Amino acid sequence: MRRENSIKKKSSIKARVTLWYTILMLVILVIGAAYLLSLNSNISRTAQQQTLVDTVTATIKDIRFTYSELDDAGVDFYRDGVSIFLYDTKGRLLAPKINSGLKVDSVLTDRYLRTVSQGSEKWLVYDLYSESAGPGCWIRGIFPLSHSQETLRRMQLLILAAVPFFTLLAAVGGYYITKRAFARVGAMAKTAEAITSGQDLSRRLPDDGSGDELSMLGHAMNSMLERLQASFDRERRFTSDVSHELRTPTAVILSQCEYALTCKATADKDESLQSIRRQAGRISSIVSQLLLMIRAENGKFCPAMEPLSIGELCEMIVMEMEETARAQDVRLECSPDRSLVVNGDETLLIRMVTNLLSNAIRYNRPGGTVRLTVDADHGRCLIRVADTGIGISPDNLGRIWERFYRADSARSGDGSGLGLPMVRFIANLHGGDVDAESHPGKGSIFTVTLPLAGNGELPQKIRNDSSF
Ligand code: ADP
Protein backbone atom coordinates (compact mmCIF):
# COMPACT_ATOMS: atom_id res chain seq x y z
CA MET A 1 0.00 0.00 0.00
CA ARG A 2 2.79 2.37 1.01
CA ARG A 3 4.71 1.40 -2.11
CA GLU A 4 1.66 2.08 -4.31
CA ASN A 5 1.32 5.49 -2.74
CA SER A 6 4.96 6.26 -3.38
CA ILE A 7 4.64 5.24 -7.05
CA LYS A 8 1.52 7.40 -7.38
CA LYS A 9 3.32 10.36 -5.86
CA LYS A 10 6.37 9.76 -8.08
CA SER A 11 4.40 9.77 -11.34
CA SER A 12 2.46 12.80 -10.22
CA ILE A 13 5.72 14.71 -9.66
CA LYS A 14 6.92 13.59 -13.10
CA ALA A 15 3.68 14.72 -14.72
CA ARG A 16 3.67 18.02 -12.85
CA VAL A 17 7.26 18.82 -13.75
CA THR A 18 6.69 17.91 -17.41
CA LEU A 19 3.46 19.91 -17.56
CA TRP A 20 5.13 22.89 -15.96
CA TYR A 21 7.97 23.25 -18.40
CA THR A 22 5.81 22.28 -21.39
CA ILE A 23 3.47 25.17 -20.61
CA LEU A 24 6.44 27.42 -19.95
CA MET A 25 8.02 26.39 -23.24
CA LEU A 26 4.75 27.01 -25.09
CA VAL A 27 4.35 30.48 -23.59
CA ILE A 28 7.97 31.38 -24.37
CA LEU A 29 7.69 30.08 -27.94
CA VAL A 30 4.38 31.88 -28.63
CA ILE A 31 5.60 35.19 -27.18
CA GLY A 32 8.92 34.84 -29.01
CA ALA A 33 7.28 33.99 -32.33
CA ALA A 34 4.77 36.85 -32.07
CA TYR A 35 7.52 39.30 -31.24
CA LEU A 36 9.70 37.98 -34.09
CA LEU A 37 6.89 38.24 -36.63
CA SER A 38 5.90 41.78 -35.65
CA LEU A 39 9.55 42.86 -35.62
CA ASN A 40 10.16 41.32 -39.03
CA SER A 41 7.03 42.90 -40.53
CA ASN A 42 7.94 46.34 -39.10
CA ILE A 43 11.54 46.15 -40.32
CA SER A 44 10.60 45.00 -43.83
CA ARG A 45 7.79 47.62 -44.09
CA THR A 46 10.20 50.40 -43.11
CA ALA A 47 12.80 49.11 -45.58
CA GLN A 48 10.22 48.92 -48.39
CA GLN A 49 9.00 52.44 -47.72
CA GLN A 50 12.57 53.73 -47.69
CA THR A 51 13.38 51.95 -51.00
CA LEU A 52 10.22 53.36 -52.61
CA VAL A 53 10.88 56.94 -51.52
CA ASP A 54 14.58 56.73 -52.49
CA THR A 55 13.83 55.25 -55.95
CA VAL A 56 11.17 57.86 -56.73
CA THR A 57 13.41 60.71 -55.54
CA ALA A 58 16.37 59.36 -57.55
CA THR A 59 14.25 59.25 -60.73
CA ILE A 60 14.00 63.10 -60.78
CA LYS A 61 17.53 63.49 -62.08
CA ASP A 62 16.90 61.03 -64.97
CA ILE A 63 13.94 62.99 -66.41
CA ARG A 64 14.67 65.21 -69.47
CA PHE A 65 12.33 67.38 -71.56
CA THR A 66 13.20 68.32 -75.13
CA TYR A 67 10.95 71.19 -76.40
CA SER A 68 8.40 70.33 -73.68
CA GLU A 69 8.46 66.71 -74.85
CA LEU A 70 9.47 64.05 -72.33
CA ASP A 71 12.68 62.23 -73.12
CA ASP A 72 12.47 59.04 -71.00
CA ALA A 73 15.53 57.39 -72.44
CA GLY A 74 17.46 57.77 -69.20
CA VAL A 75 14.61 56.72 -66.93
CA ASP A 76 14.75 53.29 -65.33
CA PHE A 77 11.07 52.31 -64.97
CA TYR A 78 11.70 49.28 -62.81
CA ARG A 79 14.35 49.37 -60.15
CA ASP A 80 14.71 47.61 -56.77
CA GLY A 81 11.19 46.17 -57.12
CA VAL A 82 9.70 49.64 -57.58
CA SER A 83 7.70 50.44 -60.78
CA ILE A 84 7.96 54.08 -61.88
CA PHE A 85 5.17 55.99 -63.73
CA LEU A 86 5.40 59.55 -65.02
CA TYR A 87 2.33 61.80 -65.37
CA ASP A 88 1.91 65.31 -66.75
CA THR A 89 0.52 68.15 -64.66
CA LYS A 90 -3.01 67.17 -65.60
CA GLY A 91 -2.51 63.64 -64.36
CA ARG A 92 -2.21 61.99 -67.79
CA LEU A 93 0.20 59.05 -68.00
CA LEU A 94 3.33 60.06 -69.93
CA ALA A 95 5.47 56.96 -69.51
CA PRO A 96 5.84 54.10 -69.70
CA LYS A 97 3.59 53.86 -72.72
CA ILE A 98 2.78 50.19 -72.07
CA ASN A 99 0.14 49.99 -69.42
CA SER A 100 1.52 47.80 -66.71
CA GLY A 101 -1.97 46.78 -65.70
CA LEU A 102 -1.60 48.35 -62.28
CA LYS A 103 -4.87 50.03 -61.52
CA VAL A 104 -4.08 51.93 -58.39
CA ASP A 105 -6.07 55.08 -57.54
CA SER A 106 -5.36 57.94 -59.88
CA VAL A 107 -5.33 60.76 -57.36
CA LEU A 108 -1.81 62.15 -57.36
CA THR A 109 -0.75 63.60 -54.02
CA ASP A 110 2.67 65.14 -53.57
CA ARG A 111 5.02 63.32 -51.15
CA TYR A 112 2.27 61.08 -49.84
CA LEU A 113 3.13 57.52 -48.94
CA ARG A 114 0.15 55.17 -48.71
CA THR A 115 -0.99 51.59 -49.04
CA VAL A 116 -3.54 50.86 -51.74
CA SER A 117 -5.52 47.62 -51.97
CA GLN A 118 -7.33 46.07 -54.87
CA GLY A 119 -8.89 42.73 -54.26
CA SER A 120 -6.35 40.61 -52.47
CA GLU A 121 -3.47 42.68 -53.91
CA LYS A 122 -1.74 45.45 -51.97
CA TRP A 123 0.71 48.13 -53.11
CA LEU A 124 2.76 50.79 -51.50
CA VAL A 125 2.38 54.03 -53.48
CA TYR A 126 4.46 57.24 -53.38
CA ASP A 127 3.93 60.35 -55.55
CA LEU A 128 6.36 63.19 -56.10
CA TYR A 129 5.84 66.40 -58.14
CA SER A 130 8.95 67.79 -59.85
CA GLU A 131 9.58 70.91 -61.97
CA SER A 132 13.36 70.52 -62.08
CA ALA A 133 13.44 69.62 -65.80
CA GLY A 134 11.24 71.99 -67.73
CA PRO A 135 7.47 71.65 -67.37
CA GLY A 136 6.30 70.01 -64.15
CA CYS A 137 5.69 66.29 -64.01
CA TRP A 138 4.48 63.71 -61.49
CA ILE A 139 6.58 60.70 -60.60
CA ARG A 140 4.71 57.81 -59.07
CA GLY A 141 6.45 54.83 -57.52
CA ILE A 142 4.55 51.60 -56.88
CA PHE A 143 5.87 48.76 -54.73
CA PRO A 144 3.84 45.53 -54.75
CA LEU A 145 3.39 44.15 -51.24
CA SER A 146 2.18 40.75 -52.32
CA HIS A 147 5.69 39.29 -52.34
CA SER A 148 6.60 40.35 -48.81
CA GLN A 149 3.15 39.31 -47.63
CA GLU A 150 3.80 35.86 -49.03
CA THR A 151 7.12 35.69 -47.20
CA LEU A 152 5.40 36.73 -43.99
CA ARG A 153 2.68 34.16 -44.51
CA ARG A 154 5.28 31.43 -45.05
CA MET A 155 7.04 32.48 -41.91
CA GLN A 156 3.78 32.36 -39.97
CA LEU A 157 3.12 28.86 -41.28
CA LEU A 158 6.61 27.77 -40.34
CA ILE A 159 6.23 29.17 -36.84
CA LEU A 160 2.80 27.62 -36.52
CA ALA A 161 4.31 24.24 -37.28
CA ALA A 162 7.50 24.82 -35.24
CA VAL A 163 5.77 25.88 -31.99
CA PRO A 164 3.82 22.64 -31.43
CA PHE A 165 6.75 20.59 -32.71
CA PHE A 166 9.24 22.09 -30.26
CA THR A 167 6.68 22.05 -27.44
CA LEU A 168 6.10 18.35 -28.06
CA LEU A 169 9.83 17.74 -28.27
CA ALA A 170 10.37 19.55 -24.94
CA ALA A 171 7.55 17.59 -23.32
CA VAL A 172 8.76 14.20 -24.54
CA GLY A 173 12.44 14.95 -23.82
CA GLY A 174 11.65 16.41 -20.41
CA TYR A 175 9.41 13.51 -19.51
CA TYR A 176 12.12 11.05 -20.52
CA ILE A 177 14.81 12.81 -18.47
CA THR A 178 12.52 13.13 -15.43
CA LYS A 179 11.49 9.48 -15.80
CA ARG A 180 15.12 8.39 -15.85
CA ALA A 181 15.96 10.55 -12.84
CA PHE A 182 13.00 9.20 -10.88
CA ALA A 183 13.87 5.66 -11.92
CA ARG A 184 17.17 6.13 -10.05
CA VAL A 185 15.30 7.55 -7.05
CA GLY A 186 13.04 4.49 -7.22
CA ALA A 187 16.04 2.17 -7.32
CA MET A 188 17.55 3.99 -4.34
CA ALA A 189 14.29 3.71 -2.37
CA LYS A 190 14.09 0.01 -3.23
CA THR A 191 17.64 -0.64 -1.98
CA ALA A 192 17.03 1.47 1.14
CA GLU A 193 13.88 -0.56 1.84
CA ALA A 194 15.79 -3.81 1.30
CA ILE A 195 18.48 -2.61 3.72
CA THR A 196 15.86 -1.73 6.36
CA SER A 197 13.81 -4.91 6.01
CA GLY A 198 16.75 -7.27 5.62
CA GLN A 199 18.98 -5.47 8.15
CA ASP A 200 21.77 -5.93 5.61
CA LEU A 201 24.02 -2.95 6.11
CA SER A 202 26.57 -4.24 3.62
CA ARG A 203 24.30 -3.30 0.68
CA ARG A 204 24.86 0.05 -1.03
CA LEU A 205 22.62 2.44 -2.95
CA PRO A 206 23.19 2.50 -6.72
CA ASP A 207 25.56 5.31 -7.70
CA ASP A 208 26.41 5.67 -11.40
CA GLY A 209 29.29 8.01 -10.53
CA SER A 210 27.98 10.67 -12.93
CA GLY A 211 28.50 13.36 -10.28
CA ASP A 212 24.99 14.78 -10.64
CA GLU A 213 22.74 15.57 -7.66
CA LEU A 214 21.37 12.04 -7.38
CA SER A 215 24.80 10.52 -7.64
CA MET A 216 25.96 12.91 -4.90
CA LEU A 217 22.98 11.86 -2.75
CA GLY A 218 23.78 8.19 -3.34
CA HIS A 219 27.43 8.81 -2.49
CA ALA A 220 26.54 10.67 0.74
CA MET A 221 24.10 7.98 1.81
CA ASN A 222 26.59 5.23 1.03
CA SER A 223 29.21 6.96 3.18
CA MET A 224 26.62 7.19 5.94
CA LEU A 225 25.82 3.49 5.56
CA GLU A 226 29.52 2.67 5.67
CA ARG A 227 29.91 4.59 8.93
CA LEU A 228 26.77 2.97 10.33
CA GLN A 229 27.97 -0.48 9.36
CA ALA A 230 31.37 0.14 10.95
CA SER A 231 29.71 1.43 14.10
CA PHE A 232 27.28 -1.54 14.28
CA ASP A 233 30.12 -3.97 13.65
CA ARG A 234 32.14 -2.30 16.40
CA GLU A 235 29.22 -2.51 18.78
CA ARG A 236 28.51 -6.15 17.89
CA ARG A 237 32.16 -7.07 18.36
CA PHE A 238 32.31 -5.14 21.60
CA THR A 239 29.21 -6.90 23.00
CA SER A 240 30.53 -10.30 22.03
CA ASP A 241 33.99 -9.48 23.46
CA VAL A 242 32.50 -8.30 26.75
CA SER A 243 30.34 -11.40 27.09
CA HIS A 244 33.30 -13.58 26.21
CA GLU A 245 35.54 -11.83 28.77
CA LEU A 246 32.96 -12.06 31.52
CA ARG A 247 32.00 -15.65 30.79
CA THR A 248 35.29 -17.21 31.94
CA PRO A 249 35.53 -15.58 35.40
CA THR A 250 31.79 -16.09 35.94
CA ALA A 251 32.13 -19.79 35.09
CA VAL A 252 35.12 -20.08 37.44
CA ILE A 253 33.20 -18.36 40.26
CA LEU A 254 30.21 -20.71 39.78
CA SER A 255 32.32 -23.85 39.76
CA GLN A 256 34.36 -22.70 42.76
CA CYS A 257 31.13 -21.96 44.66
CA GLU A 258 29.83 -25.47 43.86
CA TYR A 259 33.12 -26.95 44.99
CA ALA A 260 33.24 -24.89 48.21
CA LEU A 261 29.69 -25.93 49.09
CA THR A 262 30.48 -29.63 48.75
CA CYS A 263 33.99 -29.87 50.20
CA LYS A 264 34.59 -30.28 53.91
CA ALA A 265 38.20 -29.20 54.35
CA THR A 266 38.61 -25.56 55.44
CA ALA A 267 41.84 -25.18 53.49
CA ASP A 268 40.06 -26.16 50.24
CA LYS A 269 37.21 -23.77 50.99
CA ASP A 270 39.73 -20.97 51.58
CA GLU A 271 41.41 -21.72 48.27
CA SER A 272 38.07 -21.62 46.49
CA LEU A 273 37.22 -18.32 48.15
CA GLN A 274 40.59 -16.90 47.08
CA SER A 275 39.91 -17.95 43.51
CA ILE A 276 36.39 -16.48 43.65
CA ARG A 277 37.82 -13.22 45.00
CA ARG A 278 40.40 -13.07 42.20
CA GLN A 279 37.81 -13.66 39.49
CA ALA A 280 35.35 -11.22 41.07
CA GLY A 281 38.15 -8.67 41.21
CA ARG A 282 38.81 -9.25 37.52
CA ILE A 283 35.13 -8.81 36.65
CA SER A 284 34.99 -5.69 38.75
CA SER A 285 38.09 -4.26 37.05
CA ILE A 286 36.69 -4.97 33.56
CA VAL A 287 33.31 -3.49 34.43
CA SER A 288 34.76 -0.36 36.02
CA GLN A 289 37.13 0.27 33.08
CA LEU A 290 34.33 -0.23 30.58
CA LEU A 291 31.97 1.95 32.56
CA LEU A 292 34.54 4.72 32.69
CA MET A 293 35.16 4.59 28.93
CA ILE A 294 31.46 4.40 28.08
CA ARG A 295 30.59 7.28 30.41
CA ALA A 296 33.37 9.37 28.87
CA GLU A 297 32.20 8.48 25.35
CA ASN A 298 28.68 9.60 26.29
CA GLY A 299 30.08 12.85 27.69
CA LYS A 300 28.99 11.95 31.25
CA PHE A 301 32.44 11.79 32.76
CA CYS A 302 34.30 14.89 33.89
CA PRO A 303 37.94 14.31 34.81
CA ALA A 304 39.19 16.34 37.78
CA MET A 305 41.86 18.35 35.99
CA GLU A 306 44.59 20.06 37.97
CA PRO A 307 48.23 21.03 37.37
CA LEU A 308 50.43 18.05 38.21
CA SER A 309 54.15 17.46 38.24
CA ILE A 310 54.13 14.55 35.84
CA GLY A 311 57.78 13.65 36.52
CA GLU A 312 57.20 13.31 40.23
CA LEU A 313 53.99 11.36 39.66
CA CYS A 314 55.85 8.86 37.45
CA GLU A 315 58.63 8.56 40.00
CA MET A 316 56.10 7.69 42.67
CA ILE A 317 54.45 5.03 40.50
CA VAL A 318 57.84 3.47 39.72
CA MET A 319 58.61 3.28 43.41
CA GLU A 320 55.29 1.55 44.08
CA MET A 321 55.86 -0.99 41.32
CA GLU A 322 59.43 -1.86 42.22
CA GLU A 323 58.28 -4.81 44.33
CA THR A 324 56.26 -6.30 41.46
CA ALA A 325 59.19 -5.84 39.08
CA ARG A 326 61.60 -7.46 41.45
CA ALA A 327 59.28 -10.47 41.79
CA GLN A 328 59.55 -10.90 38.00
CA ASP A 329 63.32 -10.35 38.02
CA VAL A 330 62.98 -7.10 36.07
CA ARG A 331 64.91 -3.90 36.84
CA LEU A 332 62.98 -0.62 36.90
CA GLU A 333 64.77 2.59 35.94
CA CYS A 334 63.30 6.06 36.04
CA SER A 335 64.72 9.42 34.93
CA PRO A 336 61.97 12.04 34.87
CA ASP A 337 62.19 15.80 34.34
CA ARG A 338 60.57 16.87 37.60
CA SER A 339 59.90 20.40 36.47
CA LEU A 340 57.28 19.48 33.86
CA VAL A 341 53.64 20.19 34.59
CA VAL A 342 50.58 18.88 32.83
CA ASN A 343 46.92 19.57 33.46
CA GLY A 344 45.44 16.22 34.33
CA ASP A 345 43.36 13.91 36.43
CA GLU A 346 45.77 12.33 38.91
CA THR A 347 43.91 9.02 39.29
CA LEU A 348 43.64 8.55 35.52
CA LEU A 349 47.28 9.47 34.86
CA ILE A 350 48.40 7.00 37.56
CA ARG A 351 46.31 4.30 35.90
CA MET A 352 47.76 5.15 32.49
CA VAL A 353 51.42 4.95 33.61
CA THR A 354 50.70 1.88 35.76
CA ASN A 355 49.17 0.03 32.79
CA LEU A 356 52.23 0.76 30.65
CA LEU A 357 54.65 -0.27 33.38
CA SER A 358 52.78 -3.49 34.26
CA ASN A 359 52.78 -4.50 30.59
CA ALA A 360 56.47 -3.68 30.29
CA ILE A 361 57.15 -5.89 33.34
CA ARG A 362 54.74 -8.68 32.37
CA TYR A 363 55.99 -9.04 28.80
CA ASN A 364 59.66 -8.76 29.78
CA ARG A 365 62.27 -11.48 30.15
CA PRO A 366 64.00 -12.49 33.41
CA GLY A 367 66.88 -10.09 34.05
CA GLY A 368 65.33 -7.51 31.71
CA THR A 369 64.94 -3.79 32.20
CA VAL A 370 62.09 -1.29 32.05
CA ARG A 371 63.08 2.34 31.61
CA LEU A 372 60.66 5.21 32.16
CA THR A 373 61.60 8.73 31.01
CA VAL A 374 59.67 12.01 31.13
CA ASP A 375 60.93 14.80 28.84
CA ALA A 376 59.71 17.94 27.14
CA ASP A 377 59.65 18.20 23.36
CA HIS A 378 58.30 21.16 21.36
CA GLY A 379 55.98 22.31 24.13
CA ARG A 380 54.73 18.79 24.82
CA CYS A 381 55.52 16.24 27.47
CA LEU A 382 56.79 12.83 26.36
CA ILE A 383 56.35 9.88 28.73
CA ARG A 384 58.35 6.94 27.38
CA VAL A 385 58.25 3.36 28.72
CA ALA A 386 60.90 1.18 27.09
CA ASP A 387 61.37 -2.48 27.88
CA THR A 388 63.70 -5.27 26.85
CA GLY A 389 60.91 -7.85 26.57
CA ILE A 390 59.40 -10.12 23.94
CA GLY A 391 58.28 -7.27 21.69
CA ILE A 392 55.21 -7.25 19.45
CA SER A 393 55.05 -8.53 15.88
CA PRO A 394 54.19 -5.92 13.18
CA ASP A 395 50.84 -7.72 12.56
CA ASN A 396 49.81 -7.34 16.18
CA LEU A 397 51.24 -3.85 16.63
CA GLY A 398 48.34 -2.26 14.73
CA ARG A 399 45.74 -4.08 16.82
CA ILE A 400 47.00 -3.75 20.39
CA TRP A 401 44.89 -0.58 20.93
CA GLU A 402 41.66 -2.47 20.22
CA ARG A 403 39.54 -3.38 23.20
CA PHE A 404 40.02 -6.96 24.42
CA TYR A 405 42.81 -7.64 21.95
CA ARG A 406 45.60 -9.79 23.32
CA ALA A 407 48.55 -10.61 21.17
CA ASP A 408 50.03 -13.08 23.58
CA SER A 409 47.23 -14.87 25.47
CA ALA A 410 49.66 -17.22 27.22
CA ARG A 411 51.54 -14.34 28.82
CA SER A 412 48.53 -12.13 29.23
CA GLY A 413 47.17 -14.39 31.98
CA ASP A 414 44.67 -12.36 33.96
CA GLY A 415 45.02 -9.46 31.53
CA SER A 416 41.75 -8.32 30.01
CA GLY A 417 43.01 -6.67 26.83
CA LEU A 418 41.70 -3.36 28.15
CA GLY A 419 45.02 -2.00 29.44
CA LEU A 420 46.26 -0.29 26.28
CA PRO A 421 42.83 0.96 25.10
CA MET A 422 42.59 2.54 28.55
CA VAL A 423 46.03 4.15 28.09
CA ARG A 424 45.00 5.62 24.78
CA PHE A 425 41.63 6.73 26.14
CA ILE A 426 43.27 8.57 29.07
CA ALA A 427 45.89 10.18 26.81
CA ASN A 428 43.17 11.37 24.40
CA LEU A 429 41.10 12.66 27.29
CA HIS A 430 44.06 14.86 28.24
CA GLY A 431 44.48 16.15 24.68
CA GLY A 432 47.39 13.82 24.04
CA ASP A 433 48.20 10.75 22.00
CA VAL A 434 50.01 7.42 22.19
CA ASP A 435 52.40 5.54 19.99
CA ALA A 436 54.14 2.19 20.10
CA GLU A 437 57.18 0.84 18.37
CA SER A 438 58.53 -2.62 18.85
CA HIS A 439 61.22 -5.03 17.75
CA PRO A 440 60.10 -8.62 18.32
CA GLY A 441 62.52 -10.39 20.63
CA LYS A 442 64.25 -7.12 21.58
CA GLY A 443 61.64 -4.98 23.28
CA SER A 444 59.05 -2.25 22.87
CA ILE A 445 58.78 1.49 23.45
CA PHE A 446 55.44 3.05 24.32
CA THR A 447 55.28 6.86 24.10
CA VAL A 448 52.52 9.04 25.51
CA THR A 449 52.48 12.68 24.38
CA LEU A 450 50.62 15.15 26.60
CA PRO A 451 50.25 18.92 26.28
CA LEU A 452 52.22 20.84 28.90
CA ALA A 453 50.19 23.10 31.20
CA GLY A 454 50.75 26.87 30.70
CA ASN A 455 54.46 27.47 30.17
CA GLY A 456 55.14 23.92 31.33
CA GLU A 457 56.76 25.03 34.59
CA LEU A 458 55.88 23.80 38.03
CA PRO A 459 53.77 26.30 40.04
CA GLN A 460 55.22 27.22 43.45
CA LYS A 461 52.39 25.45 45.32
CA ILE A 462 53.17 22.09 43.74
CA ARG A 463 56.93 22.58 43.98
CA ASN A 464 56.65 22.70 47.79
CA ASP A 465 54.34 19.67 48.00
CA SER A 466 55.82 16.59 46.38
CA SER A 467 54.04 13.97 48.49
CA PHE A 468 50.86 13.66 46.28
P1 ADP B 1 46.56 -7.18 28.49
O2 ADP B 1 45.66 -7.04 29.64
O3 ADP B 1 46.40 -8.44 27.75
O4 ADP B 1 47.98 -6.85 28.80
P5 ADP B 1 46.69 -4.75 27.00
O6 ADP B 1 45.64 -3.99 26.34
O7 ADP B 1 47.44 -4.06 28.08
O8 ADP B 1 46.01 -6.07 27.48
O9 ADP B 1 47.71 -5.22 25.91
C10 ADP B 1 47.25 -5.82 24.74
C11 ADP B 1 48.28 -6.78 24.18
O12 ADP B 1 49.42 -6.04 23.73
C13 ADP B 1 48.81 -7.74 25.21
O14 ADP B 1 48.02 -8.90 25.23
C15 ADP B 1 50.22 -8.02 24.72
O16 ADP B 1 50.21 -9.10 23.84
C17 ADP B 1 50.60 -6.78 23.97
N18 ADP B 1 51.53 -5.92 24.76
C19 ADP B 1 51.20 -4.84 25.48
N20 ADP B 1 52.30 -4.27 26.04
C21 ADP B 1 53.34 -5.01 25.63
C22 ADP B 1 54.77 -4.96 25.86
N23 ADP B 1 55.33 -4.00 26.63
N24 ADP B 1 55.53 -5.87 25.27
C25 ADP B 1 54.99 -6.84 24.49
N26 ADP B 1 53.68 -6.98 24.25
C27 ADP B 1 52.87 -6.07 24.80
* Distance in Å, CA 364 to ligand 1 centroid: 11
Q: pTM for this structure?
A: 0.55
The closest residue, in CA terms, to atom 15 on ligand 1 is 407
d(CA 452, CA 432): 10
- Does pLDDT of 8 surpass 70? no
CA atoms within 13 A on the CB side of 436: 24
d(CA 303, CA 429): 8
Pocket test for ligand 1, best of 289, 356, 359 (most atoms within 8 A of CB): 359
The ligand 1 site (C-beta within 6 Å) comprises: 355, 359-360, 363, 387, 389-392, 400, 405-408, 412, 415-420, 444
Please provide residue 406's backbone torsions phi and psi, each rounded to the nearest 5 degrees.
-130, 120
- Strand pairing class (137-144; 121-130): antiparallel
* Distance in Å, CA 233 to ligand 1 centroid: 23
Of 345, 349, 267, which is closest to residue 316 (Cα–Cα)?
349
How many Cβ atoms sit within 10 Å of the Cβ of residue 415? 19
Q: What is the pLDDT of residue 417?
A: 84
Q: What is the pLDDT of residue 93?
A: 82
Q: What is the pLDDT of residue 361?
A: 95
Q: Per residue in 53-94, pLDDT tens?
A: 999 999 888 888 777 777 777 888 888 888 888 888 888 888
pLDDT higher at 373 or 247: 373
Q: What is the pLDDT of residue 462?
A: 37
Q: What is the pLDDT of residue 4?
A: 46
* Distance in Å, CA 118 to ligand 1 centroid: 112
339: alpha, beta or left? (left if phi > 0; alpha if psi -120 to 50): alpha
Atom of ligand 1 nearest to the CA of 407: 16
* Distance in Å, CA 406 to ligand 1 centroid: 6
434: alpha, beta or left? (left if phi > 0; alpha if psi -120 to 50): beta
Q: What is the pLDDT of residue 343?
A: 93
Q: Per residue in 190-234, pLDDT tens?
A: 888 888 776 777 888 877 777 888 888 888 888 988 888 888 887
The closest residue, in CA terms, to atom 16 on ligand 1 is 407
The closest residue, in CA terms, to atom 8 on ligand 1 is 417
DSSP letter for 60, please: G
- Does pLDDT of 461 surpass 50? no
Identify whether the C-beta of residue 59 lies closer than 8 Å to the C-beta of residue 129.
no
- Does pLDDT of 42 surpass 90? no
Bridge partners of 387, per DSSP, are: 370
- Does pLDDT of 186 surpass 80? yes
- Does pLDDT of 458 surpass 50? no
* Distance in Å, CA 358 to ligand 1 centroid: 9
